Amino acid sequence: MDAILFLIFAAIAVGCGVNLVVQRHPISSALSLVGVMAALAVLYLLLGAEFMAAAQMIVYAGAIMVLFVFTIMLLNAGSERKTDKALFARLFGVPALIGFIVLIGFLIRTLLPKTENVVFGTFTEGTARGVGLKLFTEYLLPFEVTSLLILIAILGAVVLARKEI
Amino acid sequence: MPSSVPLSWYLILSAILFGLGVAGFVVRRNIITVFMSIELMLNAVNLSFIAFSYQLRQVDGHIFSFFVMVVAAAEAAVGLAIILTVFKNRATLAIDDVSSLKN
């Protein structure tokens, strides 16, 4: 069951990822990215990361992608025009990409010690309780610094999106 | 067919998604799509973090990936504001047209 779920959602993730790169219109890419994120949320759940799966759906697929789609709509972004480098990308880019993935896969298979099989339910610390306990004790300082980062990001976004610039 | 998959398959999936993100970053000519490719790469790395977290039976990987998510949210807000400003000044989203720093 775990293997079937993994294969289905890994296939969805890779398919949507390829679609993201291949599509010319940004809105198609954005919707593919939502597909990738939803599939990854299911994989997080299989790995026992309940909180992260929920956060992935709410923060990434919910908030960030709405921001992207909103910007695409606001700027009325159309399909990108064709360039003269498309053939070059197809001839050298695709083999380079496949070579990169095969190399990483080979390194993972050879360098990593024998990894165990992922069985759903054997790791149950990834709940909101488990993550929160760690976040508010051991990682309290980084968590507080994060609030500063978000404050600066809000100010930056407001300043950059003003009328006068 | 086995009932469960080894952890390394998750890492290989992460590598595939990261590679696709790099490809999109290099190939695409629309600034918003380039930005979305970066998000895809961040997501791929998050999957790696959570897979390693499962292997070590510790939630530290979840925390790291949580922080990556926070940084991605901040980055999206600022980045899209920059894209908005560029569009207001130049009325284009093609990165080939925005190359003042090049010459």
Q: What is the CATH number of the domain that holds B54?
A: 1.10.287.3510
A100 in any annotated domain: no
The contacts found for A111-118 with CB under 8 angstroms, 24 or more apart, are A112/B8, A112/B11, A115/B6, A115/B7, A115/B8, A115/B55, A116/B6, A116/B7, A116/B55, A117/B2, A117/B4, A117/B5, A117/B6, A117/B7, A118/A2, A118/A6, A118/A46, A118/A47, A118/B4, A118/B5, A118/B6, A118/B7, A118/B10, A118/B54
Q: Are B30 and A92 in contact (CB under 8 A)?
A: no
> Is it the case that residue B103 has pLDDT exceeding 80?
no
- Across the interface, whether the CB atoms of A80 and B94 are under 8 A apart is answered yes
pLDDT of B31-51, one tens digit each? 999 999 999 999 999 999 999
In a domain, A86, yes or no: no
State the pLDDT at residue B78.
Answer: 93
**Contact by Cβ (8 Å): A52, B55:** no
Across the interface, do B70 and A80 touch by the CB < 8 Å criterion? Answer: no
Task: Supply angle C-alpha B52, B57, B61, rounded to 5.
Answer: 45
* Maximum Cα–Cα distance across chain A: 58
Tell me, yes or no, whether B19 lies in a domain: no
Does some domain include residue B99? no
C-alpha closest to that of A118 among B48, B54, B53, B61: B54
pLDDT at A31: 94
% of chain A with per-residue pLDDT over 90: 53
Which ipTM score applies to this complex?
0.91
Residue B100 has a CB neighbour count (10 Å cut-off) of 7
B88 belongs to a structural domain: yes
**Residue B64 covered by a domain:** yes
Q: Which of residues 113-152 of A touch B (CB under 8 A)?
A: 115-119, 123, 125-126, 130-131, 134-135, 139, 142, 146, 149-150, 152
Six token digits for residue A83: 């360039």
Q: Tell me if A135 and B66 make a contact (CB, 8 A cut-off).
A: yes
Query: What is the model's pTM?
Result: 0.91
* Cα distance between residue B20 and residue A33, in whole Å: 12
Domain region containing B69: 29-94
The whole-number pLDDT of residue A165 equals 61
CATH number of the domain enclosing A44: 1.20.120.1200
Q: What's the domain range around A126?
A: 2-78+120-161
Mean pLDDT of B50-75: 92
On whether residue B79 sits in a domain, the answer given is yes
Residue B14 above 90 pLDDT? yes
Tell me, yes or no, whether B5 lies in a domain: no
Instruction: Count up the domains in chain B and report the number.
Output: 1
Of B39, B65, B73, Cβ closest to residue A33:
B39
What is the number of structural domains in chain A? 1
